[in-house]
Structure 1
Amino acid sequence: MELDPQNAISAIQTGVQQASALVVTYSFSVIGAIVLLVVGYIVAGLVERWLYAGLGQVSGFDLTLRRFFSKIARYAVLGLVIVMVLGQFGIQTASVIAAIGAIGLAIGLALQGTLQNIAAGIVLLALRPFRIGEYVEVGSVTGTVEEIGLFATRLRAADGVYLLAPNSTLWTQPVKNFSRNGVRRNDISINIDGEGNIDQIQKAFVKMATGDKRVLSDPAPAAFASDLTDTSVAVTLRYWTSASDFAAVKADFTKGTRNLFQEKQMAAE
């Protein structure tokens, strides 16, 4: 069968025309996609900066939450841009959104524990049961808070040990914050036998407390008989100090109480 030159030329011309049409069509699509990507990238950056600055105007809004929400807004804009770019090439955006949702659901189920930590971190940063620099006890975790992140909280134990606790653990347990109220109360007790002079011990206790400038005058320190047995009476000194002075005053008063007790015993002899 001989090839007709006219038919061959016609077929080639038709193919060239179709190819040219496709090139023109997809060229505009590619150019439009590039423009969308550039504009979307710029807009995403602007939205991130605007939201970060706007949240900074909110009194007491945590820096970590500002960064988190501004980043979320940036990625949301970029995700919308990508969907629009795919639409430029005739891809059904509804299918893309459904696929992204399914992928997000699968990732969420796989990272369920991690997402719990993120949610707990956001709540901790919003409600602030503890802040950086405060000394807290949460379950078996005790230490000074050094950093509150979205996934975990970093603390420093009293002996200098590094602690990293998941936020979900900290949120689901009662928090004992030793620094939040600014003041703390302490009780120091000694037992004296039935022959000891309770009034003298009480006066000596109050004198020791009022003579220390670190002890608060309101509430005023007080000494009282707190317990009674057949052979002894417990005398307790109750006083208040600032949270920062608590440990030092407790150590000094424990030593002072011991010395006071020894002096009273020697005087009795």
Structure 2
Amino acid sequence: MENQATSFIVATRTALTQASALAVQYSFSILGAFVLLICGWVLAGFVSRWAFAGISRVHGIDETLARFFTNVLYYGLLILVFITVLGQFGVQTASIIAALGAAGLAIGLALQGTLQNIAAGIMLLILRPFRVGEYIETGAVTGTVKEIGLFATELRTADGLYRLAPNSTLWNTPITNFSREPSRKHQITLGVSAKSEVDDVLSTLLEIAKSNPDVEKQPAPIAYVNSLGGTISVTLEYWPRTKGWSATTREMLRKTKASLDAKGVEIS
């Protein structure tokens, strides 16, 4: 009995000694991991802010794109810190990296369409075929751009409707931007009676265009005869400023009708 008691005491002391050694060892590991997490988190935030400031100064880089790149950098650094912490506890990080790579591949295949929209969004933000506030038209989308996101672009149609277009749809089709250039050509074609003084009609059309302050002087307005016959077809080409284009063209149509009516010219 005495030998059994002695063995029990010795085993208990050994177990306590080993437990104390493990506690000391892992307490330092836990403390080191905690410090590493805090330092890594602070460093990731500092590096991401520094990267955002640097990327934002690059000409042509949109704020949305700059935030996307910095977020990727931030979470990438956090993942690196987490893997390093696991290495403190003897975890085989190579297997974790391989598992993350396989998971990333599987997620990429599952979200292939979404990744296409992200890639298209990045290209749209870099190349800037359109900007917020511009009016665009593609094969299936028409409207004023309200916001350009990484996944989709928000637009407002001419009749006031909300439209959300996937970026891949915009990127894979030709885009017509009605707002990018400072001026846009417009033409008025009308028919007048063969008895009308054609030169007088043409000079009247030119005077209307030249007297409008919202019509560009260069290229200069031109008026010409399109066709002859029972009715003479005449055309006025001019370049209104893009800003206020619709209002200018409506006003030009009104003045054209009023001026020709005042001269007794019959319009058909």
Please report how far the alpha carbon of residue 2 of structure 1 lies from its aligned counterpart in structure 2 after TM superposition: 9.5
Q: Indicate the residue corresponding to 1:44 in structure 2.
A: 44
Question: Tell me, what secondary structure is at the counterpart of 1:159?
Answer: coil
Residues 267/8 of structure 1: CA separation in 2 closer, same or farther (3 Å cut): closer
1:252 alignment partner AA: E
Structure 1 match to 2:232: 233
Does residue 55 in structure 1 map to residue 55 in structure 2?
yes
**CA RMSD, Structure 1 to Structure 2 (Å):** 2.0
Q: Normalization by structure 2: what TM-score?
A: 0.93
- Tell me what 1:172 maps to: 172
Q: CA deviation at 1:57?
A: 2.3
Q: Compare 257-266 and 70-79 and name the one that shifted more.
A: 257-266
Whether the 8 Å contact between 2:29 and 2:88 is mirrored in structure 1 is yes
The alpha-carbon deviation at position 247 of structure 1 amounts to 0.6
Segment drifting more, 132-141 vs 167-176: 132-141
Name the residue aligned to 1:246: 245
Alignment of 1:1-269 (within 5 A): 4-228=4-228, 230-265=229-264
Structure-2 change in CA distance of 1:267 and 1:114 (3 Å): closer
On the 8 A contact 2:224/2:234 being kept in 1, the answer is yes
Q: Note the alpha carbon deviations across 1:132-163, whole angstroms, 9 max, x for none.
A: 11111122211111211111111122222112
Q: Which amino acid aligns with 1:76?
A: G
Q: Give, in whole Å, the separation in 2 of the partners of 1:187 and 1:266.
A: 19
Q: Which deviations, in whole Å up to 9, do the C-alpha atoms of 1:180-218 show, x marking residues without a partner?
A: 111111010001243333222111111111111111111
3-state SS of the aligned residue for 1:68? helix
3-state SS of paired residue (1:4):
helix
Query: How many residues are matched?
Result: 267
Q: Deviations over 1:227-259 (max 9, x none)?
A: 34x432310000011101311111112223333
The one-letter amino acid paired with 1:255 is R
Give distance in 1, aligned partners of 2:63 and 2:123.
14
Deviation (angstroms), 1:266: 5.8
Tell me which amino acid in the other structure corresponds to 1:184.
R
Q: In the aligned structure 1, how far is the partner of 2:232 from the partner of 2:3?
A: 124
Kindly tell me: are residues 16 and 247 of structure 1, through their superposed partners in 2, closer, same or farther at Cα, counting changes over 3 Å?
Answer: same
1:102-150 alpha-carbon deviations (Å, 9 max, x no partner): 1111211222111111111111000000011111112221111121111
Q: In 1, distance between residues paired with 2:251 and 2:240?
A: 13
**Is there any run of 5+ residues in structure 1 with no aligned partner, and where?**
none
State the distance in 2 between where 1:266 and 1:146 align: 45
Distance in 2 between residues matched to 1:101 and 1:155, nearest whole Å:
37
* Farther-moved stretch of structure 1 (240-249 vs 80-89): 240-249
The range that moved more, 12-21 or 35-44, is: 12-21
Greater shift, 36-45 or 250-259, is seen at 250-259
| Displacement over 6 Å in runs of 4+ | none
| 1:56 positional shift | 2.4
Structure-1-length-normalised TM-score? 0.93
State the distance in 2 between where 1:140 and 1:258 align.
Answer: 35
Unaligned 5+ residue runs, structure 2? Answer: none
- Counterpart CA distance in 1 for 2:2 and 2:106 is 61
Moved more, 83-92 or 136-145: 136-145
Percentage identity across paired residues of the two chains: 51
